[in-house]
Amino acid sequence: MAFIRPGQGIRAIVTGTAILTLTACAGGRNTPEETIRTNVRTAPAELQLACASETVTRLQLGDEQLLPISSGEVTPNVYRIDFNTKGGPAFCIIDGSGTVLSVERA
């Protein structure tokens, strides 16, 4: 498992979020009927960053101990972001306005 090294902090989180976003958007020429994720909405990057920051604070982690792995909309305008941490999996629930509703270990 790869973790963010000291000194990379938020830059690594931004890079990881960008990679996840680009990966979700990249694709071939499949029609909507041929794809599995046609209705999945990932969390916007700024909400993923807010959740990452709050998860580090609430779980008392160092920046180097957090890696975002996935996100999705759980209800309209409410998102779940999943993380790998040095202490195991964790997740954050955030609404569309940026209010963190929950941070928990999975």
pLDDT at 75 over 80: yes
Q: What are the pLDDT digits (tens) for 24-62?
A: 555 556 565 555 555 678 999 999 999 999 999 999 997
CA–CA distance, 95 with 74 (Å, rounded to integer): 10
Q: What percent of the chain has pLDDT over 70?
A: 62
| Sequence ranges of the domains in the chain | 9-105
Give the integer Cα–Cα distance in Å for 90 and 100: 14
Tokens of 41: 């909405």
- CA–CA dist 29, 95 (Å, integer): 32
Q: What pLDDT was estimated at residue 65?
A: 87
